[in-house]
Amino acid sequence: MNSISERAQKLIFDREFANSELTMHEDHPRVKWLKEFSEYAAEQKLCGEVAECGVFRGNFAYYINKYFFKHTLYLFDTFEGFNAVDIKTEKSLDDPDFESGRFGEDRSHKAFRGTNEKYVLSKMPYPQKCVIKKGYFPETAKDIKEKFCFVNLDMDLYQPMLEGLRYFYPCMKGGGGGVILMHDFFNNDLPGVKKAVVDFEQEAGFKLAKMPIGDGCSLAVINL
């Protein structure tokens, strides 16, 4: 590690790693929303399973597992950071907000490497209810035949977020319905998330029922 840019890069990753250790608090608006939705789902007898796509070190997955303790929690992640094909697609969208943001200028290739599935499982309150799906999403979903009542999509980039909607939206019906959270919908650094929602609506031929949840970041897509 010689050049100034390599040392700067290392500092960025050390900081990312350190930040990732900060556990979300129970009074975080997204966590409070999740708790109330889990209670509503139980009362309404929504019987599908739950999932997170984009787990990293499991900070939000911890709460999904805690509040939906009766449901199987599917955890989708490469556990090796972004996929090169997804980054290439993102760059082809040619959005200056992405390039000038947190993942622009090739920082995206090295983001989110500091994790592994063993670590994530070790921090879950009910690890026996968790199923790790390691690898590239949506390929890792091919063998799953479940219905879902809650999914957090948090993969940052256009292509996997669009694939997440394509895969999970139809899986909500049949188990009583459910909600998909589109994390980063209101994050200007990640314009691909909003585009994924717009393009999904266009290809589906209808407008999704959707609303913000009050965390300044996530959009709830409702299929109840």
Ligand X SMILES: C[S@@+](CC[C@H](N)C(=O)[O-])C[C@H]1O[C@@H](n2cnc3c(N)ncnc32)[C@H](O)[C@@H]1O
Q: Is 102 helix (H, G, I), strand (E, B) or coil?
A: coil
- Write out the binding residues for ligand X, residues 197-216 only, by CB under 6 A: none
Closest to ligand X by CB, 47 or 102: 102
Closest to ligand X by CB, 41 or 193: 193
- Interface with ligand X by CB under 6 A: which range of 5-13, 71-79, 88-96, 202-210? 71-79
Q: What share of the chain is helix, strand, coil (3-state, %, to 5)?
A: 45, 15, 40
- Write out the binding residues for ligand X, residues 125-164 only, by CB under 6 A: 136-137, 154-157, 160
* Residue closest to ligand X (Cβ): 54
With CB under 6 A as the contact rule, the residue among 72, 83, 116, 187 that binds ligand X is 83
Report the distance separating Cα 25 and Cα 12, nearest Å: 24
Side chain identity, residue 84: A
DSSP letter string, 49-64: EEEEE--TT-TTHHHH
Closest to ligand X by CB, 137 or 169: 137
Task: Confirm if 69 and 125 have CB atoms less than 8 A apart.
Answer: yes
- Write out the binding residues for ligand X, residues 98-127 only, by CB under 6 A: 112
Report the distance separating Cα 146 and Cα 110, nearest Å: 33
With CB under 6 A as the contact rule, the residue among 54, 178, 191, 192 that binds ligand X is 54
Closest to ligand X by CB, 218 or 223: 218
The C-alpha angle with vertex 87 and arms to 89 and 21, in degrees rounded to 5, equals: 145
Q: What is the DSSP letter of 76?
A: E
| Other C-beta atoms lying within 10 Å of the C-beta of residue 152 | 23
Using CB under 6 A as the binding criterion, the count of chain residues that bind ligand X stands at: 21
Q: Find the shortest distance in angstroms from Cβ 203 to ligand X.
A: 19
Q: Interface with ligand X by CB under 6 A: which residues?
A: 54-57, 59-60, 76-78, 81-83, 86, 112, 136-137, 154-157, 160
